[in-house]
Structure 1
Protein backbone atom coordinates (compact mmCIF):
# COMPACT_ATOMS: atom_id res chain seq x y z
CA UNK A 1 0.00 0.00 0.00
CA UNK A 2 1.37 3.42 -0.96
CA UNK A 3 2.11 6.20 1.48
CA UNK A 4 -0.79 8.64 1.74
CA UNK A 5 0.15 11.82 3.56
CA UNK A 6 1.21 15.39 2.81
CA UNK A 7 4.47 14.76 4.69
CA UNK A 8 6.72 11.97 3.52
CA UNK A 9 7.26 9.08 5.89
CA UNK A 10 10.64 10.16 7.24
CA UNK A 11 9.57 13.76 7.76
CA UNK A 12 6.39 12.75 9.57
CA UNK A 13 8.33 10.43 11.85
CA UNK A 14 10.86 13.17 12.60
CA UNK A 15 8.05 15.61 13.36
CA UNK A 16 6.21 13.19 15.66
CA UNK A 17 9.43 12.44 17.55
CA UNK A 18 10.22 16.13 17.89
CA UNK A 19 6.79 16.89 19.35
CA UNK A 20 5.99 13.74 21.32
CA UNK A 21 9.34 12.03 21.94
CA UNK A 22 11.46 9.21 20.55
CA UNK A 23 9.11 6.59 21.97
CA UNK A 24 6.48 7.45 19.40
CA UNK A 25 6.95 5.57 16.14
CA UNK A 26 4.41 6.08 13.39
CA UNK A 27 2.83 2.75 12.50
CA UNK A 28 -0.07 3.81 10.26
CA UNK A 29 -1.51 6.95 8.69
CA UNK A 30 -5.05 7.14 7.34
CA UNK A 31 -6.79 10.07 5.79
CA UNK A 32 -9.95 11.23 7.54
CA UNK A 33 -12.74 13.36 6.17
CA UNK A 34 -11.47 16.88 6.76
CA UNK A 35 -14.18 18.94 5.14
CA UNK A 36 -13.68 21.53 2.44
CA UNK A 37 -10.90 23.63 3.93
CA UNK A 38 -8.22 21.34 5.36
CA UNK A 39 -6.88 17.82 5.09
CA UNK A 40 -6.91 15.60 8.19
CA UNK A 41 -4.89 12.44 8.87
CA UNK A 42 -5.19 9.99 11.75
CA UNK A 43 -1.80 8.84 13.02
CA UNK A 44 -1.40 5.53 14.87
CA UNK A 45 1.84 5.00 16.78
CA UNK A 46 3.13 1.55 17.61
CA UNK A 47 2.84 2.25 21.35
CA UNK A 48 -0.94 2.62 20.93
CA UNK A 49 -1.01 6.41 20.95
CA UNK A 50 -3.24 8.09 18.39
CA UNK A 51 -3.20 11.73 17.28
CA UNK A 52 -4.28 13.80 14.30
CA UNK A 53 -2.35 15.74 11.67
CA UNK A 54 -4.06 18.84 10.28
CA UNK A 55 -2.81 20.22 6.96
CA UNK A 56 -3.87 23.61 5.62
CA UNK A 57 -3.01 23.18 1.95
CA UNK A 58 -4.57 25.99 -0.02
CA UNK A 59 -4.27 24.02 -3.27
CA UNK A 60 -6.67 21.43 -1.82
CA UNK A 61 -9.12 23.95 -0.40
CA UNK A 62 -12.38 24.03 -2.32
CA UNK A 63 -12.74 27.74 -1.58
CA UNK A 64 -9.19 28.77 -2.49
CA UNK A 65 -10.47 31.28 -5.04
CA UNK A 66 -12.44 33.15 -2.39
CA UNK A 67 -9.51 33.05 0.04
CA UNK A 68 -7.12 34.39 -2.60
CA UNK A 69 -9.49 37.27 -3.34
CA UNK A 70 -10.06 38.15 0.32
CA UNK A 71 -8.68 41.64 0.87
CA UNK A 72 -8.68 41.59 4.68
CA UNK A 73 -6.51 38.70 5.86
CA UNK A 74 -7.74 39.26 9.43
CA UNK A 75 -11.21 38.09 8.42
CA UNK A 76 -10.07 34.84 6.84
CA UNK A 77 -11.59 31.79 8.53
CA UNK A 78 -8.95 29.61 6.89
CA UNK A 79 -5.54 28.57 8.13
CA UNK A 80 -3.31 27.57 10.97
CA UNK A 81 -3.11 31.03 12.54
CA UNK A 82 -6.87 31.20 13.05
CA UNK A 83 -6.89 27.64 14.39
CA UNK A 84 -4.13 28.32 16.91
CA UNK A 85 -5.70 31.56 18.14
CA UNK A 86 -9.18 30.07 18.51
CA UNK A 87 -7.90 26.86 20.05
CA UNK A 88 -6.10 28.86 22.72
CA UNK A 89 -9.12 31.08 23.43
CA UNK A 90 -11.58 28.19 23.70
CA UNK A 91 -9.40 26.12 25.99
CA UNK A 92 -8.56 29.12 28.19
CA UNK A 93 -12.30 29.69 28.64
CA UNK A 94 -13.14 26.09 29.50
CA UNK A 95 -14.78 25.18 26.18
CA UNK A 96 -13.80 21.70 25.07
CA UNK A 97 -11.85 21.40 21.83
CA UNK A 98 -8.98 19.03 20.93
CA UNK A 99 -5.61 20.13 22.31
CA UNK A 100 -3.00 21.56 19.96
CA UNK A 101 0.29 19.70 20.51
CA UNK A 102 2.35 21.64 17.98
CA UNK A 103 1.92 23.98 15.04
CA UNK A 104 4.40 24.22 12.16
CA UNK A 105 4.03 27.40 10.12
CA UNK A 106 5.72 27.31 6.75
CA UNK A 107 8.31 29.88 5.74
CA UNK A 108 10.29 30.44 2.56
CA UNK A 109 12.85 28.00 3.95
CA UNK A 110 10.29 25.27 4.71
CA UNK A 111 10.27 22.07 2.73
CA UNK A 112 6.48 22.06 2.51
CA UNK A 113 4.44 25.03 1.21
CA UNK A 114 1.68 24.68 3.81
CA UNK A 115 1.07 24.85 7.56
CA UNK A 116 0.45 21.70 9.56
CA UNK A 117 -0.17 20.71 13.16
CA UNK A 118 -0.35 17.76 15.52
CA UNK A 119 -3.63 17.73 17.40
CA UNK A 120 -5.26 15.57 20.06
CA UNK A 121 -7.38 12.70 18.76
CA UNK A 122 -10.82 12.54 20.36
CA UNK A 123 -12.37 9.09 20.37
CA UNK A 124 -16.06 9.46 19.73
CA UNK A 125 -18.87 10.09 17.29
CA UNK A 126 -20.08 13.29 15.73
CA UNK A 127 -23.16 14.84 17.30
CA UNK A 128 -25.14 13.71 14.25
CA UNK A 129 -25.34 10.28 15.93
CA UNK A 130 -27.21 11.78 18.89
CA UNK A 131 -29.70 14.06 17.15
CA UNK A 132 -31.95 11.07 16.45
CA UNK A 133 -30.61 8.73 19.13
CA UNK A 134 -33.04 5.90 20.00
CA UNK A 135 -32.48 6.42 23.73
CA UNK A 136 -34.14 9.72 24.64
CA UNK A 137 -32.13 9.99 27.85
CA UNK A 138 -28.87 9.78 25.92
CA UNK A 139 -30.07 12.35 23.39
CA UNK A 140 -31.10 14.70 26.19
CA UNK A 141 -27.78 14.28 28.01
CA UNK A 142 -25.63 15.04 24.96
CA UNK A 143 -27.64 17.89 23.52
CA UNK A 144 -28.27 19.55 26.87
CA UNK A 145 -24.52 19.51 27.51
CA UNK A 146 -23.91 20.94 24.06
CA UNK A 147 -26.57 23.58 24.66
CA UNK A 148 -24.89 24.58 27.92
CA UNK A 149 -21.53 24.79 26.14
CA UNK A 150 -22.94 27.00 23.40
CA UNK A 151 -24.71 29.27 25.90
CA UNK A 152 -21.50 29.60 27.88
CA UNK A 153 -19.50 30.41 24.77
CA UNK A 154 -21.97 33.04 23.60
CA UNK A 155 -22.03 34.59 27.09
CA UNK A 156 -18.45 35.76 26.58
CA UNK A 157 -18.99 39.19 25.04
CA UNK A 158 -17.11 42.31 24.11
CA UNK A 159 -17.85 45.64 22.43
CA UNK A 160 -16.08 44.96 19.13
CA UNK A 161 -16.57 42.05 16.78
CA UNK A 162 -13.88 40.00 15.09
CA UNK A 163 -11.12 37.62 16.10
CA UNK A 164 -10.43 36.85 19.75
CA UNK A 165 -7.14 38.76 19.59
CA UNK A 166 -8.04 42.48 19.34
CA UNK A 167 -4.69 43.16 17.66
CA UNK A 168 -5.99 41.27 14.63
CA UNK A 169 -7.64 44.48 13.51
CA UNK A 170 -11.16 45.79 13.68
CA UNK A 171 -13.80 47.05 11.30
CA UNK A 172 -15.85 50.16 11.90
CA UNK A 173 -19.00 49.12 10.03
CA UNK A 174 -21.63 46.90 11.74
CA UNK A 175 -20.83 43.22 11.33
CA UNK A 176 -24.11 42.39 9.60
CA UNK A 177 -23.11 44.65 6.71
CA UNK A 178 -20.27 42.25 5.96
CA UNK A 179 -22.83 39.50 5.63
CA UNK A 180 -25.05 41.68 3.46
CA UNK A 181 -22.14 42.12 1.05
CA UNK A 182 -21.40 38.41 1.25
CA UNK A 183 -25.03 37.45 0.53
CA UNK A 184 -25.02 39.64 -2.58
CA UNK A 185 -21.70 38.19 -3.71
CA UNK A 186 -22.91 34.61 -3.22
CA UNK A 187 -26.17 35.42 -4.98
CA UNK A 188 -24.19 36.62 -8.00
CA UNK A 189 -22.73 33.09 -8.26
CA UNK A 190 -26.03 31.32 -7.69
CA UNK A 191 -27.86 33.17 -10.46
CA UNK A 192 -25.32 31.93 -12.99
CA UNK A 193 -26.43 28.35 -12.32
CA UNK A 194 -29.98 28.42 -10.97
CA UNK A 195 -32.71 29.72 -13.28
CA UNK A 196 -35.50 30.03 -10.69
CA UNK A 197 -33.37 32.13 -8.37
CA UNK A 198 -32.04 34.13 -11.30
CA UNK A 199 -35.63 35.10 -12.09
CA UNK A 200 -35.97 36.47 -8.53
CA UNK A 201 -32.59 38.19 -8.31
CA UNK A 202 -33.90 41.74 -8.02
CA UNK A 203 -36.55 40.68 -5.51
CA UNK A 204 -33.93 39.01 -3.33
CA UNK A 205 -31.71 42.07 -3.39
CA UNK A 206 -34.66 44.22 -2.35
CA UNK A 207 -35.54 41.84 0.51
CA UNK A 208 -31.95 41.72 1.74
CA UNK A 209 -31.76 45.52 1.74
CA UNK A 210 -35.07 45.86 3.55
CA UNK A 211 -34.10 43.30 6.19
CA UNK A 212 -30.82 45.10 6.76
CA UNK A 213 -32.59 48.44 7.15
CA UNK A 214 -34.59 47.03 10.10
CA UNK A 215 -31.50 46.14 12.12
CA UNK A 216 -30.59 48.50 14.95
CA UNK A 217 -27.02 49.24 16.01
CA UNK A 218 -25.36 47.05 18.61
CA UNK A 219 -22.29 47.29 20.82
CA UNK A 220 -22.15 43.78 22.35
CA UNK A 221 -21.01 40.69 20.46
CA UNK A 222 -20.82 37.08 21.66
CA UNK A 223 -18.15 34.54 20.81
CA UNK A 224 -19.47 32.15 18.14
CA UNK A 225 -18.13 29.09 16.35
CA UNK A 226 -19.31 30.37 12.98
CA UNK A 227 -20.35 27.09 11.36
CA UNK A 228 -21.72 25.02 14.19
CA UNK A 229 -23.51 22.00 12.81
CA UNK A 230 -23.67 18.48 14.31
CA UNK A 231 -20.71 17.47 12.11
CA UNK A 232 -18.51 20.00 13.91
CA UNK A 233 -19.04 18.47 17.33
CA UNK A 234 -17.33 15.28 18.54
CA UNK A 235 -18.94 13.46 21.47
CA UNK A 236 -16.94 11.11 23.68
CA UNK A 237 -18.28 7.94 25.31
CA UNK A 238 -18.73 10.04 28.47
CA UNK A 239 -21.03 12.33 26.45
CA UNK A 240 -18.56 15.25 26.46
CA UNK A 241 -18.97 17.50 23.40
CA UNK A 242 -15.81 18.83 21.74
CA UNK A 243 -15.90 21.59 19.12
CA UNK A 244 -13.88 21.00 15.95
CA UNK A 245 -13.27 23.00 12.74
CA UNK A 246 -12.88 26.13 14.82
CA UNK A 247 -10.97 28.33 12.36
CA UNK A 248 -13.96 30.65 11.81
CA UNK A 249 -14.72 31.33 15.48
CA UNK A 250 -14.92 34.99 16.49
CA UNK A 251 -16.95 37.62 18.32
CA UNK A 252 -20.03 38.34 16.22
CA UNK A 253 -23.82 38.59 16.29
CA UNK A 254 -25.01 35.47 18.08
CA UNK A 255 -28.06 35.47 15.80
CA UNK A 256 -25.70 34.40 13.02
CA UNK A 257 -24.92 31.25 15.00
CA UNK A 258 -28.47 30.57 16.11
CA UNK A 259 -29.92 30.71 12.61
CA UNK A 260 -27.25 28.24 11.53
CA UNK A 261 -28.03 25.98 14.49
CA UNK A 262 -31.70 26.08 13.48
CA UNK A 263 -30.81 24.90 9.98
CA UNK A 264 -28.41 22.16 10.99
CA UNK A 265 -30.08 20.70 14.08
CA UNK A 266 -33.72 20.96 13.01
CA UNK A 267 -36.09 19.89 15.79
CA UNK A 268 -33.12 19.48 18.15
CA UNK A 269 -32.58 23.24 18.07
CA UNK A 270 -34.94 23.31 21.06
CA UNK A 271 -31.93 22.44 23.20
CA UNK A 272 -30.18 25.68 22.20
CA UNK A 273 -32.95 28.28 22.08
CA UNK A 274 -32.08 31.27 24.31
CA UNK A 275 -33.97 34.43 25.09
CA UNK A 276 -33.07 37.88 23.90
CA UNK A 277 -32.34 37.18 20.24
CA UNK A 278 -33.10 40.03 17.85
CA UNK A 279 -35.91 38.88 15.49
CA UNK A 280 -34.76 41.25 12.74
CA UNK A 281 -31.27 39.86 12.82
CA UNK A 282 -32.67 36.32 12.87
CA UNK A 283 -34.63 36.94 9.67
CA UNK A 284 -31.68 38.59 7.97
CA UNK A 285 -29.20 35.84 8.84
CA UNK A 286 -31.66 33.10 7.88
CA UNK A 287 -31.86 34.43 4.34
CA UNK A 288 -28.12 35.02 4.28
CA UNK A 289 -27.48 31.36 5.17
CA UNK A 290 -29.94 30.11 2.55
CA UNK A 291 -28.17 32.04 -0.21
CA UNK A 292 -24.67 31.31 1.06
CA UNK A 293 -25.27 27.57 1.42
CA UNK A 294 -26.86 27.38 -2.03
CA UNK A 295 -23.74 29.00 -3.42
CA UNK A 296 -21.41 26.86 -1.30
CA UNK A 297 -23.04 23.64 -2.48
CA UNK A 298 -22.79 24.72 -6.11
CA UNK A 299 -19.13 25.64 -5.74
CA UNK A 300 -18.32 22.28 -4.17
CA UNK A 301 -20.17 20.55 -6.99
CA UNK A 302 -18.35 22.55 -9.66
CA UNK A 303 -14.91 22.15 -8.06
CA UNK A 304 -14.67 18.40 -7.74
CA UNK A 305 -15.79 17.80 -4.16
CA UNK A 306 -15.52 14.01 -3.55
CA UNK A 307 -19.18 13.74 -2.46
CA UNK A 308 -21.14 15.33 -5.33
CA UNK A 309 -24.44 13.91 -4.06
CA UNK A 310 -24.00 15.85 -0.81
CA UNK A 311 -22.96 19.00 -2.67
CA UNK A 312 -25.99 18.82 -4.95
CA UNK A 313 -28.41 18.11 -2.12
CA UNK A 314 -26.94 21.03 -0.13
CA UNK A 315 -27.43 23.50 -2.95
CA UNK A 316 -30.88 22.17 -3.91
CA UNK A 317 -32.19 22.21 -0.35
CA UNK A 318 -31.14 25.77 0.33
CA UNK A 319 -32.26 26.95 -3.07
CA UNK A 320 -35.72 25.70 -2.10
CA UNK A 321 -35.39 27.51 1.23
CA UNK A 322 -34.46 30.70 -0.60
CA UNK A 323 -37.43 30.49 -2.93
CA UNK A 324 -39.77 29.67 -0.03
CA UNK A 325 -38.48 32.71 1.83
CA UNK A 326 -39.41 34.90 -1.16
CA UNK A 327 -42.89 33.38 -1.34
CA UNK A 328 -43.53 33.95 2.36
CA UNK A 329 -42.10 37.46 2.46
CA UNK A 330 -44.63 40.24 2.78
Structure 2
Protein backbone atom coordinates (compact mmCIF):
# COMPACT_ATOMS: atom_id res chain seq x y z
CA UNK A 1 0.00 0.00 0.00
CA UNK A 2 1.67 3.21 -1.20
CA UNK A 3 -1.18 5.67 -0.68
CA UNK A 4 -4.76 5.59 0.58
CA UNK A 5 -7.42 8.28 1.01
CA UNK A 6 -10.97 7.32 1.92
CA UNK A 7 -11.87 10.84 3.03
CA UNK A 8 -12.18 12.19 -0.53
CA UNK A 9 -10.02 15.17 0.39
CA UNK A 10 -7.94 15.02 -2.82
CA UNK A 11 -10.32 13.31 -5.25
CA UNK A 12 -14.11 12.87 -5.39
CA UNK A 13 -13.74 9.11 -4.90
CA UNK A 14 -11.92 6.80 -2.49
CA UNK A 15 -8.37 6.26 -3.76
CA UNK A 16 -5.72 3.63 -3.10
CA UNK A 17 -2.37 3.16 -4.84
CA UNK A 18 -0.98 -0.32 -4.39
CA UNK A 19 2.00 -2.25 -5.65
CA UNK A 20 1.70 -5.74 -7.07
CA UNK A 21 4.31 -7.71 -5.10
CA UNK A 22 5.34 -10.42 -7.52
CA UNK A 23 8.39 -12.07 -5.97
CA UNK A 24 6.70 -14.99 -4.22
CA UNK A 25 6.18 -15.54 -0.48
CA UNK A 26 8.21 -16.12 2.66
CA UNK A 27 7.17 -19.75 2.52
CA UNK A 28 8.87 -20.16 -0.85
CA UNK A 29 11.88 -18.04 0.17
CA UNK A 30 12.51 -20.22 3.22
CA UNK A 31 13.34 -23.08 0.87
CA UNK A 32 16.06 -21.09 -0.88
CA UNK A 33 17.29 -18.44 1.61
CA UNK A 34 15.89 -19.15 5.10
CA UNK A 35 18.09 -16.70 7.01
CA UNK A 36 16.21 -13.51 6.11
CA UNK A 37 13.89 -12.74 9.07
CA UNK A 38 14.22 -10.30 11.99
CA UNK A 39 12.58 -8.11 14.62
CA UNK A 40 14.21 -4.67 14.56
CA UNK A 41 11.54 -2.23 15.79
CA UNK A 42 10.86 -1.76 19.50
CA UNK A 43 8.69 0.27 21.87
CA UNK A 44 8.50 0.80 25.61
CA UNK A 45 4.73 0.38 25.35
CA UNK A 46 2.69 -2.52 24.02
CA UNK A 47 -0.45 -2.37 21.93
CA UNK A 48 -1.62 -1.98 18.35
CA UNK A 49 0.54 0.39 16.34
CA UNK A 50 -2.37 2.59 15.27
CA UNK A 51 -3.55 3.03 18.87
CA UNK A 52 -0.09 3.94 20.14
CA UNK A 53 0.51 6.39 17.27
CA UNK A 54 -2.68 8.22 18.25
CA UNK A 55 -1.45 8.52 21.83
CA UNK A 56 -3.66 5.71 23.09
CA UNK A 57 -2.80 2.93 25.48
CA UNK A 58 -3.55 -0.77 25.54
CA UNK A 59 -5.53 -2.23 28.41
CA UNK A 60 -3.91 -4.34 31.11
CA UNK A 61 -0.67 -4.14 33.03
CA UNK A 62 1.54 -6.44 30.95
CA UNK A 63 1.48 -8.61 27.85
CA UNK A 64 1.54 -11.81 29.85
CA UNK A 65 -1.43 -10.63 31.92
CA UNK A 66 -3.47 -10.04 28.76
CA UNK A 67 -2.54 -13.46 27.43
CA UNK A 68 -3.37 -15.08 30.77
CA UNK A 69 -6.83 -13.50 30.90
CA UNK A 70 -7.62 -14.61 27.35
CA UNK A 71 -6.26 -18.10 28.00
CA UNK A 72 -8.51 -18.51 31.04
CA UNK A 73 -11.49 -17.53 28.89
CA UNK A 74 -10.44 -20.02 26.20
CA UNK A 75 -9.97 -22.69 28.84
CA UNK A 76 -13.46 -22.17 30.21
CA UNK A 77 -14.91 -22.31 26.72
CA UNK A 78 -12.94 -25.40 25.74
CA UNK A 79 -13.78 -27.15 29.02
CA UNK A 80 -17.48 -26.83 28.26
CA UNK A 81 -17.05 -28.53 24.88
CA UNK A 82 -14.23 -31.04 25.37
CA UNK A 83 -14.54 -33.56 28.24
CA UNK A 84 -10.78 -34.15 28.43
CA UNK A 85 -10.09 -30.45 28.85
CA UNK A 86 -13.02 -30.19 31.26
CA UNK A 87 -11.63 -32.88 33.55
CA UNK A 88 -8.25 -31.14 33.66
CA UNK A 89 -9.55 -27.57 33.76
CA UNK A 90 -8.44 -26.85 37.34
CA UNK A 91 -4.93 -28.15 36.71
CA UNK A 92 -4.66 -26.23 33.44
CA UNK A 93 -5.74 -22.99 35.10
CA UNK A 94 -3.25 -23.52 37.93
CA UNK A 95 -0.54 -24.10 35.34
CA UNK A 96 -1.45 -20.91 33.49
CA UNK A 97 -1.40 -18.89 36.70
CA UNK A 98 1.94 -20.36 37.72
CA UNK A 99 3.57 -19.70 34.34
CA UNK A 100 2.31 -16.11 34.33
CA UNK A 101 4.26 -15.37 37.54
CA UNK A 102 7.60 -16.55 36.13
CA UNK A 103 8.34 -13.83 33.60
CA UNK A 104 10.53 -10.93 34.68
CA UNK A 105 9.09 -7.41 34.17
CA UNK A 106 9.74 -6.05 30.70
CA UNK A 107 10.02 -2.46 29.44
CA UNK A 108 10.74 -3.10 25.76
CA UNK A 109 8.44 -4.76 23.26
CA UNK A 110 9.03 -5.89 19.69
CA UNK A 111 6.99 -5.18 16.60
CA UNK A 112 5.01 -8.28 15.65
CA UNK A 113 2.51 -9.07 12.94
CA UNK A 114 0.12 -10.94 15.22
CA UNK A 115 -0.55 -13.74 12.73
CA UNK A 116 2.69 -14.15 10.86
CA UNK A 117 1.96 -17.07 8.59
CA UNK A 118 4.29 -17.41 5.60
CA UNK A 119 1.57 -16.30 3.19
CA UNK A 120 1.41 -12.96 4.99
CA UNK A 121 4.91 -12.08 3.76
CA UNK A 122 5.22 -11.73 -0.03
CA UNK A 123 8.66 -10.99 -1.42
CA UNK A 124 9.21 -8.25 -3.99
CA UNK A 125 11.35 -8.51 -7.11
CA UNK A 126 14.41 -7.32 -5.18
CA UNK A 127 13.99 -9.99 -2.51
CA UNK A 128 12.68 -7.63 0.17
CA UNK A 129 9.87 -8.89 2.45
CA UNK A 130 6.52 -7.06 2.29
CA UNK A 131 3.98 -7.51 5.08
CA UNK A 132 0.30 -7.76 4.20
CA UNK A 133 -2.86 -8.10 6.33
CA UNK A 134 -1.28 -5.81 8.91
CA UNK A 135 -4.42 -4.81 10.82
CA UNK A 136 -3.09 -6.73 13.83
CA UNK A 137 0.40 -5.14 13.74
CA UNK A 138 1.42 -4.35 17.31
CA UNK A 139 4.21 -3.95 19.80
CA UNK A 140 4.12 -6.98 22.08
CA UNK A 141 6.26 -9.73 23.54
CA UNK A 142 8.00 -11.26 20.53
CA UNK A 143 7.68 -14.64 22.26
CA UNK A 144 4.00 -14.63 21.30
CA UNK A 145 4.86 -14.55 17.62
CA UNK A 146 7.68 -17.06 18.00
CA UNK A 147 5.33 -19.58 19.58
CA UNK A 148 3.04 -19.18 16.57
CA UNK A 149 6.01 -19.58 14.22
CA UNK A 150 7.09 -22.76 16.03
CA UNK A 151 3.64 -24.27 15.58
CA UNK A 152 3.33 -23.06 11.98
CA UNK A 153 6.78 -23.99 10.65
CA UNK A 154 7.72 -27.01 12.76
CA UNK A 155 11.15 -28.28 11.76
CA UNK A 156 11.74 -25.18 9.62
CA UNK A 157 11.41 -22.86 12.62
CA UNK A 158 15.16 -23.00 13.33
CA UNK A 159 15.68 -20.59 10.42
CA UNK A 160 13.48 -18.01 12.18
CA UNK A 161 14.58 -18.53 15.79
CA UNK A 162 16.51 -15.88 17.68
CA UNK A 163 18.53 -15.80 20.91
CA UNK A 164 17.34 -14.13 24.09
CA UNK A 165 13.71 -15.27 24.15
CA UNK A 166 12.21 -15.65 27.63
CA UNK A 167 11.57 -19.37 28.36
CA UNK A 168 8.86 -18.52 30.89
CA UNK A 169 6.90 -16.46 28.38
CA UNK A 170 7.38 -19.12 25.73
CA UNK A 171 5.87 -21.73 28.07
CA UNK A 172 2.90 -19.53 28.98
CA UNK A 173 2.20 -18.47 25.42
CA UNK A 174 2.48 -22.02 24.08
CA UNK A 175 -0.15 -23.29 26.51
CA UNK A 176 -2.34 -20.26 25.85
CA UNK A 177 -2.13 -20.78 22.10
CA UNK A 178 -2.92 -24.48 22.40
CA UNK A 179 -6.05 -23.66 24.40
CA UNK A 180 -7.04 -21.04 21.84
CA UNK A 181 -6.71 -23.68 19.12
CA UNK A 182 -9.12 -25.88 21.04
CA UNK A 183 -11.71 -23.25 21.90
CA UNK A 184 -11.69 -21.52 18.50
CA UNK A 185 -12.32 -24.58 16.29
CA UNK A 186 -14.96 -25.96 18.67
CA UNK A 187 -16.69 -22.58 18.61
CA UNK A 188 -16.82 -22.77 14.82
CA UNK A 189 -18.38 -26.20 15.04
CA UNK A 190 -21.32 -24.73 16.97
CA UNK A 191 -22.40 -23.16 13.69
CA UNK A 192 -22.54 -24.36 10.10
CA UNK A 193 -18.81 -24.21 9.38
CA UNK A 194 -18.31 -26.45 6.31
CA UNK A 195 -14.93 -28.09 7.01
CA UNK A 196 -16.04 -29.84 10.16
CA UNK A 197 -13.69 -32.83 10.11
CA UNK A 198 -10.64 -30.58 9.75
CA UNK A 199 -11.70 -28.33 12.62
CA UNK A 200 -12.48 -31.30 14.83
CA UNK A 201 -9.01 -32.72 14.20
CA UNK A 202 -7.41 -29.35 14.97
CA UNK A 203 -9.27 -29.16 18.28
CA UNK A 204 -8.46 -32.74 19.23
CA UNK A 205 -4.77 -32.38 18.37
CA UNK A 206 -4.36 -29.18 20.35
CA UNK A 207 -6.31 -30.53 23.32
CA UNK A 208 -3.89 -33.45 23.44
CA UNK A 209 -0.90 -31.09 23.18
CA UNK A 210 -2.28 -28.79 25.90
CA UNK A 211 -2.76 -31.69 28.30
CA UNK A 212 0.78 -32.89 27.56
CA UNK A 213 2.10 -29.53 28.75
CA UNK A 214 0.83 -30.31 32.25
CA UNK A 215 3.52 -32.93 32.65
CA UNK A 216 6.31 -31.34 30.62
How does the TM-score come out when normalised to structure 1?
0.56
The one of 158, 166, 177 aligned to 1:270: 158
| Higher radius of gyration, 1 or 2 | 1
Q: Equivalents in 1 of 2:106, 2:150: separation in Å? A: 23
The match for 2:171 is 283
**CA drift at 1:276:** 0.9
Matched, 1:300 2:188: yes
The match for 2:106 is 218
**Residue pair 1:103, 1:118 contacting (<8 A) in 2 also:** no
Q: Equivalents in 2 of 1:240, 1:310: separation in Å? A: 34
Matched, 1:102 2:1: no
The one of 155, 162, 166 aligned to 2:40: 155
Following TM superposition, where does structure 1 have runs of at least 4 consecutive aligned residues deviating by more than 6 angstroms?
none
Aligned length: 207
Alpha carbons of structure 1 residues 315 and 244: separation in structure 2 relative to 1, 3 Å: farther
The one of 198, 216, 219 aligned to 2:86: 198
The match for 1:228 is 116
Once superposed, what is the RMSD of the aligned Cα atoms?
2.6
Q: Equivalents in 1 of 2:180, 2:97: separation in Å? A: 16
Structure 1 residues 119-177: Cα deviation after superposition (integer angstroms, max 9, x where no partner): 5443365444566xxxxxxx141x322x2xxx1xx221121111221513244511210
Residue 134 of structure 2: SS of its match in structure 1? coil
Residue 222 of structure 1: SS of its match in structure 2? strand
Matched, 1:169 2:169: no
Structure 1 residues 72-125: Cα deviation after superposition (integer angstroms, max 9, x where no partner): xxxxxxxxxxxxxxxxxxxxxxxxxxx1543548xxxxxxxxxx9775443365
How does the TM-score come out when normalised to structure 2?
0.83
Structure 1 spans left out of the alignment, 5+ residues: 1-98, 106-115, 132-138
**CA drift at 1:212:** 0.7
**Residue pair 1:124, 1:236 contacting (<8 A) in 2 also:** yes
The match for 2:12 is none
Going by fraction, where is strand more abundant, 1 or 2?
A: 1
Say which structure, 1 or 2, has more relative contact order (CA 8 Å, 6+ apart): 2
**Residue pair 2:21, 2:125 contacting (<8 A) in 1 also:** no
Structure 1 residues 194-252: Cα deviation after superposition (integer angstroms, max 9, x where no partner): 11111100000000000011111111111111111223223456654332221111011
Matched, 1:178 2:66: yes
Residue 247 of structure 1: SS of its match in structure 2? helix
